[in-house]
Chain A
Amino acid sequence: MEEKILELFGKKLKVINIGLESFAESLKEEGVDVIQMDWEPPAGGDAELASLLDSLMD
């Protein structure tokens, strides 16, 4: 049950940051490997269309 969490504790942290860029900048300052995603609200913020797109992409 805890194997994957213990595996995380034993490894170098590698972060994908989705959202506020300042969080990625802070992690870089602390020497953490981090990649910032170019995120924006899907389909112009239209929730219905976004959900349709998501099911198409899955």
Chain B
Amino acid sequence: MAKKVVIDENNYYDSVTLMSISKDIKGMEGITEAVVVMATPHNKELLENVGLLTDEADNASPKDMVIAVEADSDDLAEEALAGVEEALEAKASGGGDDEYRPRTLDSALDAMPGANLAVISVPGDYAKKEAEKALNKGLHVMLFSDNVPVEEEIELKELAAEKGLLLMGPDCGTAVINNKPLAFSNVVSEGNIGLVAASGTGAQEVSTIIDKSGLGVSQVIGTGGRDLSTEVGGMEMLKGLKALAADDSTEVIVLVSKPPADEVVKKILAEVDKIEKPVVVNFLGGNEDLFEGSKAIYSSNLEEAALRAVALSEGNDYEAKDFTIPEEVAKIVEEETAKYSDDQKYLRGLYTGGTLCDESMLILADELDALYSNIPLKPEWALEDNAKSQENTALDLGEDEFTKGRPHPMIEPYTRVERVEVEAEDEEMAILLADVVLGYGSHEDPAGELAESIKDAKAKAEERGGHLTTIVSVCGTDNDPQDLAEQTAKLEEVGAIVMPSNAQAARLAAKIVQEIN
């Protein structure tokens, strides 16, 4: 076994670029570990965990790059190092082209007169400074960076409010401004439904269901996940709500969040009551009683919020339906349950989108005695070990315990691929439930990667004389770079049942589990 650690001083690359290089090198023959990172304290910890933190690396600064590899032989390690150099050179000459890259915000503004939005995704320690500079120059800000302390978030939001500018974030992954998708967003048709969302995948699910229904969105304003906390008090959601109320292109408004504190709910609903336009609200898993006497239109899940907005936009009454294809569902349940072995009785949900996992769990929990998870709905449903599922289990694979030192599973699906392999060995699993999230930012072929592992898992179940039902929903549109129709076809080819929404996928899974028992 050979280890090589090289420091490349004063050579900064962003984390997404370096992660993708690490992954390519790790995939080379004879390479057991490859870590290419900037020498931040967090990354040093990561290097230590894999036994590749040398004294030199430990003394390096966050402006220095560390290239660390472990290989079967010295030659292979050298080859890997050369591979990293090559990838970096290709990045510098190919991706960088000859475009001018200003080093200060002033020169950026000189180069682009009339710039109106800054998208900021620098490491959290530097995020406030950059956001402040942008706001002071009169730019609206989308702040993707996370690990920004809540006190800094409040300061930034106060500054933005003073200047009348948007401050979407921190930790804001999804926004669609003037029909242009930013960061992790889908290519959604233009329409008259405006969203303000504190949850990225929540906004993606609602906006894509609207698109699948033949309508579109005016704006999707992200707030960052902590906006509706007691400390921040919903500053950005209130601002977004008022802006959409005054926007002529918006006729219906949808608010999406995990349940805020009661006093924040009251504050938001009080603002809703001042607005003439209909406002549909989904505080996923929130308390419906707080809506009593409010003009806000309560929705229990993301799909309902989207479909209520669609009905309002079209001037129709909303009609609650468990399934848009009820006859097919009855047939699927009958066919699938006939094929299981006696041992098969549990479902396993493997999610890349946190809010989609939440939505499913809320639907499933109504029908199941217990639903174990790494983000459990009840404390007693916490998994003893997140690496091992118990009975019926749903996992948010985007949580810290699964993403330490790895890209988010929406960007690189291998965390889920590995977990499907583990679950496939469990003879008690009957149903595999999963989400596929398309759009910019996401992996280029998430359905293709999932389809491969579904194929193997199904084969394993059949070898044991059973059958594995796989139920998937694809959050995306036909105009997304991955193409909804193509992605759906890849899943159906391997026998996955593709449902029109995450909520319907969960309901179908619940129905089958009930039928088994």
Give which listed residue, A2, A14, A26, A30, contacts B116 with CB less than 8 A: A14
CB of B63 closer than 8 Å to a CB of A: yes
Min CB–CB distance A2 → chain B (angstroms): 5
Stretch at the interface among B106-114, B327-335, B364-372, B379-387: B106-114
CB of B181 closer than 8 Å to a CB of A: yes
Min CB–CB distance B258 → chain A (angstroms): 24
B62 contacts A41, C-beta separation under 8 Å: yes
A23 contacts B121, C-beta separation under 8 Å: yes
Interface residues of A in 12-58 (CB under 8 A from B): 12-27, 29-30, 32-33, 35-42, 44-47, 50, 54
Report chain B residues within 8 Å CB of A46: 61
Distance, CA A38 to CA B187, complexed state (A): 27
CB of B318 closer than 8 Å to a CB of A: no
Min CB–CB distance B289 → chain A (angstroms): 31
CB of B102 closer than 8 Å to a CB of A: yes
Report chain A residues within 8 Å CB of B10: 44
B121 contacts A14, C-beta separation under 8 Å: no
Interface residues of B in 126-180 (CB under 8 A from A): 126, 129-130, 134, 138-140, 144-145, 163-166, 177-178, 180
CB 8 Å contact bits of B312-326 with A (1 = contact, 0 = none): 000000000000000
A36 contacts B247, C-beta separation under 8 Å: no
CB of B243 closer than 8 Å to a CB of A: yes
Report chain B residues within 8 Å CB of A5: 140, 164-166, 239, 243
A37 contacts B164, C-beta separation under 8 Å: no
A15 contacts B14, C-beta separation under 8 Å: no
B165 contacts A35, C-beta separation under 8 Å: no
A4 contacts B120, C-beta separation under 8 Å: no
B119 contacts A14, C-beta separation under 8 Å: no
Give which listed residue, A11, A21, A38, A41, contacts B102 with CB less than 8 A: A38
Give which listed residue, A25, A27, A32, A41, contacts B63 with CB less than 8 A: A41
Min CB–CB distance A51 → chain B (angstroms): 8
Min CB–CB distance A46 → chain B (angstroms): 7
With A21-B17, A23-B183, A36-B99 already in contact, the answer to whether A14 and B120 are too (CB < 8 A) is no
Interface residues of B in 78-107 (CB under 8 A from A): 95, 99-103, 105
Distance, CA A22 to CA B410, complexed state (A): 14
Min CB–CB distance A19 → chain B (angstroms): 3
Interface centre among A13, A33, A42 (most CB of B within 10 A): A13
Min CB–CB distance A57 → chain B (angstroms): 8
A14 contacts B112, C-beta separation under 8 Å: yes
Interface residues of B in 237-270 (CB under 8 A from A): 239, 242-243, 246-247, 249
Report chain B residues within 8 Å CB of A16: 105, 108-109, 112, 115, 117-119, 134, 139
CB of B40 closer than 8 Å to a CB of A: yes
A21 contacts B115, C-beta separation under 8 Å: no
Give which listed residue, A14, A19, A23, A37, contacts B103 with CB less than 8 A: A37
Report chain A residues within 8 Å CB of B242: 1-2
Report chain A residues within 8 Å CB of B219: 9
Distance, CA A39 to CA B129, complexed state (A): 13
Min CB–CB distance A26 → chain B (angstroms): 4
Distance, CA A53 to CA B182, complexed state (A): 31
CB of B402 closer than 8 Å to a CB of A: no
Report chain A residues within 8 Å CB of B138: 4
Report chain A residues within 8 Å CB of B14: 19-21
Distance, CA A20 to CA B122, complexed state (A): 7
Distance, CA A37 to CA B165, complexed state (A): 21
CB of B291 closer than 8 Å to a CB of A: no
Report chain A residues within 8 Å CB of B178: 8-9, 11-13
CB of B225 closer than 8 Å to a CB of A: no
Interface of B with A (CB < 8 Å)? Answer: 10, 12, 14-17, 38, 40, 61-63, 95, 99-103, 105, 108-109, 111-112, 114-123, 125-126, 129-130, 134, 138-140, 144-145, 163-166, 177-178, 180-183, 187, 218-219, 239, 242-243, 246-247, 249, 440-441, 481
18 A-B contact pairs sorted by A residue (CB < 8 Å): A2-B239, A9-B177, A14-B114, A14-B116, A21-B17, A21-B95, A22-B17, A22-B441, A26-B440, A29-B440, A35-B108, A35-B111, A36-B101, A39-B122, A44-B61, A44-B63, A45-B61, A50-B129
Given contacts A26-B183, A35-B102, 5 further A-B contacts (CB under 8 A): A6-B246, A8-B117, A9-B247, A14-B112, A41-B12
